[in-house]
Amino acid sequence: MQPRKLSFGLIVRWLAIGVASLWLLAALTLIAAKWIDPPTTAVHLERRMEAWIHGKPYHERYDFVPLSQISPAFQHAVIAAEDARFYQHHGFDWQAMEIAAEGDMDGKRFRGGSTITQQLVKNLFFGTERSYLRKGAEFTLVPVAEFVLGKQRILELYLNEVEWGPGIYGAEAASRTYYGTSARNIDREQGARLAAILPLPLKRRPSRMDHYSAIILERMREMGW
């Protein structure tokens, strides 16, 4: 008796089941994140793996703090820099995406078109990889995050998980590393400088962000902050 051959349709079916299972796991993780602070993220794991592959030491600084322990000026600086319409959109800022696309065509761009919610989903589950598959999965998970978590929890998670330098994750670790103080004590100028390094956290440093921080401070003033 010959062994049964796997049909193409059966392979596709099992692949679909696998993809659906992974999506469900990610959605359940977002639901759990409403109450449980994530101990790590895909970006954390990616950086640790990169250090191991290249035989380099890796020291992670990561202290999760409540949103109430991050100064309003710091919060406002990050929103102004990364997602000015954070409180108006429902996960996607189509206007910002259009502006970012035009900036790509012109060869000039200050920030990408991704919202804070999109960046949070990417950081939690996908790391720094760029692919259409990742974008597609992200597109389906962003509405889940918006619906389940709400704006304040999304902002709290993002500020605590985002990469701020080599091995530096979250507002508290960034504040202590660059300014020797807690995130609750960061003022407008410091917040703008820290926010300015987010697009390229492994290359930029707050002390060299005079131009970008000035743009962010102006945006904050325009937004009433």
Determine what percent of the chain is predicted with pLDDT higher than 90: 71
| Per-residue pLDDT tens digits for 55-76 | 999 999 999 999 999 999 999 9
Q: CA dihedral defined by 11, 13, 16, 20, rounded to 10 degrees?
A: -130
Structure tokens at 199: 């697009």
Mean pLDDT over the full length of the chain = 89
User: What local confidence, expressed as pLDDT, does residue 93 receive?
Assistant: 87
Cα radius of gyration rounded to whole Å, the chain: 19
Residues 84 and 113 sit within 8 Å (Cβ to Cβ): no
CA 186 vs CA 4, 16, 171, 208, 213: distances in Å: 66, 47, 10, 17, 14
| Per-residue pLDDT tens digits for 125-151 | 999 888 887 788 889 999 999 999 999
The candidate with the shortest Cα–Cα distance to 61, out of 181, 212, 146, 164, is 164
User: What local confidence, expressed as pLDDT, does residue 96 receive?
Assistant: 66
Diameter of the chain measured on Cα atoms: 78
Q: Quick one: residue 186, left, alpha or beta (phi over 0 = left, psi -120 to 50 = alpha)?
A: beta
Give the C-alpha separation, 39 to 109, whole Å: 33
Q: CA dihedral defined by 33, 43, 62, 55, rounded to 10 degrees?
A: 150
| Per-residue pLDDT tens digits for 73-110 | 999 999 999 999 999 999 898 776 666 545 544 445 45
